[in-house]
Homo-oligomer: A and B are copies of this chain.
Amino acid sequence: MADRRFFTLAGSFQLGQLAEMTGAILSDPSQAGAVMTDVAPLDTAEKTHLSFLDNKKYMDVFRTTKAGACFVRPELAQYAPASMVCLMHKNPYKAYAIAAQMFYPSGKPKSFQASSAVIDRSATLGADCSIEDGVIIGANVKIGNRCRIQAHAVIRNGVEIGDDCDIGPHTTITHALIGSKVRLHAGVCIGRQGFGFAIDPAGYVAVPQLGRVIIESDVEVGANTTIDRGAGPDTVIGQGTRIDNLVQIGHNVKLGKYCIIVAQVGISGSVQIGDYTMLGGQVGVAGHIKIGAGAKIAAQSGIMRDVPAGGQYMGSPAVPMKQGMRQTALLAKMATKKEVITDE
């Protein structure tokens, strides 16, 4: 049961409703009227709780859970405890997500404007926005409807933000155009002047960074992530892309649509990344690299050369996944054989 200090439960639901809303099949249709009062993880769920099984690592917990109902892949339903009703779905995690949103819907911002917010007269705010304490909004800023601008956010002159955005506390946004349904978490810095300077024996000469950051709709950016503005071209984050915490995105980067960028990734300047690409945690990408659509890069990889569309890479410097796994296995094998390499 989610902690009532932090979460508000919207109600109970019958299994039949839950199956219908999520597209799941009940293992026992006669239980369609059974009432679920909450969602819960397998290990703490009780009789009237709805849970999910998505990762086979948790099969043991699944076999012994007290959960009354559970989203599960059809082929695993046979391992359910006798007392459980299975909601069979080929994507149980997605089905659970939808159900959990029914139990705990995300609230709309309340129309509010804190007295300590400092809003330039030339800024325009849409309807039903919540502007919290300490927010600073510059000249000619345009903000759409139903946006939540959280405490101490700093939004500089000329920035535009669409509808239904959630701008986290302590964020800084400058030189940026942001679409709708964008969520920036705490401490995000958007639009900093990129790391651009000419190297010269007499010191470094700053190169004016004359581009912007364009964030398309439905993008999420994790806490304390930094996205630098373009040097001339723009830095672009494509629609639907999810960026985790503490990621660095350099100037001029073009990140495609629906990419997944895990925490602490670093993407150097002028990199181009296609749609639906996944970068594992702590991946680094060198400057001016192109990564094709749908590529999957394993955690901690260092991408020094272009990656073709659909490519799966690992290692630093990164190589195709199969080669990388062979290299890893080979080196391990050799290191266990003292005699293979001798001083012959």
| A133 in contact with B136 (CB, 8 Å) | yes
* Contact (Cβ within 8 A) B266 A264: yes
B212 touches A6 (CB 8 A): yes
Residue from A55, A94, A116 with most neighbouring chain B CB atoms (10 Å):
A94
**Residue of A98, A223, A284, A333 contacting most chain B CB atoms (<10 Å):** A223
Partner of A281, one of B114, B208, B224, B266: B266
Chain B proximity mask over A181-210: 1 for CB below 8 Å, otherwise 0 = 000011101001101011110011111101
Bound Cα distance from A169 to B200, whole angstroms: 30
Contact of A172 among B186, B244, B245, B288 (CB under 8 A): B186
Q: How does the 8 Å CB contact mask read for A3-21 relative to B, with 1 for contact and 0 for none? A: 1011100000000000000
When chains A and B are docked, how far (Å) is the Cα of A226 from the Cα of B282? 15
> Among the listed stretches A28-36, A38-46, A77-85, which one makes contact with chain B, having 4 or more residues with CB under 8 Å of it?
A38-46
| Smallest beta-carbon distance A121→chain B, Å | 15
Query: Closest CB-CB distance, A210 to chain B, in whole Å?
Result: 4
- Contact, CB under 8 Å: A189 / B198: no
Asked if A330 and B327 sit within 8 Å, CB to CB, the answer is: no
The yes or no answer to A111 lying at the interface (CB within 8 A) is no
A185 neighbours in B (Cβ, 8 Å): 189, 192-193
Bound Cα distance A91, B231 (Å): 18
CB-nearest residue of chain B to A302: B300
A222 and B233 form a contact (CB under 8 A): no
Interface residues on A, range: 35 or more
Establish whether residues A245 and B263, one from each chain, have CB atoms under 8 Å apart when the complex forms.
no
- Nearest 9 A-B pairs (CB), nearest first? A5-B158, A94-B198, A41-B232, A2-B210, A189-B223, A172-B186, A248-B263, A326-B335, A97-B207
Give the B-binding residues of A (Cβ under 8 A).
2-3, 5-7, 39-41, 43-44, 55, 57, 91, 93-94, 96-98, 100-101, 103-104, 106, 114, 116, 118, 132-134, 136, 140, 150-152, 154, 157-158, 160, 168-170, 172, 174-175, 185-187, 189, 192-193, 195, 197-200, 203-208, 210-212, 218, 222-224, 226, 228, 231-233, 240, 242, 244-246, 248, 250, 258, 260, 262-264, 266, 268, 281-282, 284, 286, 288, 299-300, 302, 304, 315-317, 319, 323, 326-328, 330-337, 340-341
